C-alpha cells in the first residue's frame, strides 16, 4: 500500500522534463518546420509576382500614373523618372501636374529593381511596354512580368 508520504516524495522528485521528452518535442517541431517553411517561402515569392502584375496591369498604380501623365501633357513620358520630376521641356512642364506617384519606390518592382519602361512599345503598338525582370533580374526569360501578355 502506498502511503501519503511516498506519494508526496514521488510528486516532488519529478520537477522537470526528461531528456527523452525534450528530444521528442524538438524532433516534432523540426519535422513541422521542414514541411511548413518551404510552403511559406513559395507563397512569399508568389505574392511578389502578384504585386508586380498589379502595378503594371491596366488598373495598376504605375500604369495609371503613366496614363495620367499622358492625359495631362498630351504625350507619354520619355522615362519613368518623368513621373516624379518636372520635365525640362517648357511646354510639357507647363501641363505637368505631378508627381504622379507618392514616392520613387513606386517605380520599383517588389525585388527592388526599377520597372523597365519603353515608349514607343515593341509589343504594345501605339502605347508603351512596361515590365519587371522578375525574381532573377535577367531580361528576356520566362519569369519576366509584363503588360503585353497574360502571365
Q: What is the pLDDT of residues 37-66, one digit of tens each?
A: 777 776 778 888 888 888 888 888 899 999
Residue 151's pLDDT is what? 47
Assessment of whether the complete model's pTM goes beyond 0.85: no
Q: Are 149 and 92 in contact (CB under 8 A)?
A: no
The rounded percent of the chain whose pLDDT value lies above 90 is: 14
Residue 65's pLDDT is what? 92
Which of 51, 81, 54, 53 lies closest to 66 in space, CA to CA? 81
For 19-146, CATH number out of 3.50.50.60, 3.40.50.2000, 3.30.700.10, 1.10.3300.10 equals: 3.30.700.10
- With both helix axes pointing from N to C terminus, report the angle between 61-73 and 19-56 in degrees, rounded to the nearest 10: 20
**Mean local confidence (pLDDT), 28-34:** 87
Longest dimension (CA), the chain: 103
Q: Does the pLDDT value for residue 18 go beyond 60?
A: yes
Domain limits, the chain: 19-146
Pairs from 42-45 (Cβ < 8 Å, separation ≥ 24)? 45/135
Q: Grid coordinates in use for 150?
A: 497574360
Q: Does the pLDDT value for residue 136 go beyond 70?
A: yes
Q: Does the pLDDT value for residue 13 go beyond 80?
A: no
Q: Does the pLDDT value for residue 26 go beyond 50?
A: yes
Amino acid at each position: 500500500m502506498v502511503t501519503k508520504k511516498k506519494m508526496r516524495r514521488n510528486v516532488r522528485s519529478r520537477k522537470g522534463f526528461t531528456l527523452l521528452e525534450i528530444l521528442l518535442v524538438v524532433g516534432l517541431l523540426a519535422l513541422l518546420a521542414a514541411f511548413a517553411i518551404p510552403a511559406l517561402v513559395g507563397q512569399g515569392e508568389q505574392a511578389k509576382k502578384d504585386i508586380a502584375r498589379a502595378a503594371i496591369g491596366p488598373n495598376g498604380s504605375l500604369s495609371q500614373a503613366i496614363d495620367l501623365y499622358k492625359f495631362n501633357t498630351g504625350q507619354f513620358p520619355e522615362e519613368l523618372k518623368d513621373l516624379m520630376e518636372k520635365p525640362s521641356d517648357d511646354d510639357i512642364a507647363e501641363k505637368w501636374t505631378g508627381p504622379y506617384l507618392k514616392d520613387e519606390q513606386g517605380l520599383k518592382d517588389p525585388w527592388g529593381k526599377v520597372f523597365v519602361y519603353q515608349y514607343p512599345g515593341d509589343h504594345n503598338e501605339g502605347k508603351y511596354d512596361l515590365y519587371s525582370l522578375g525574381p532573377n533580374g535577367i531580361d528576356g526569360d520566362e519569369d519576366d512580368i509584363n503588360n503585353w501578355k497574360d502571365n
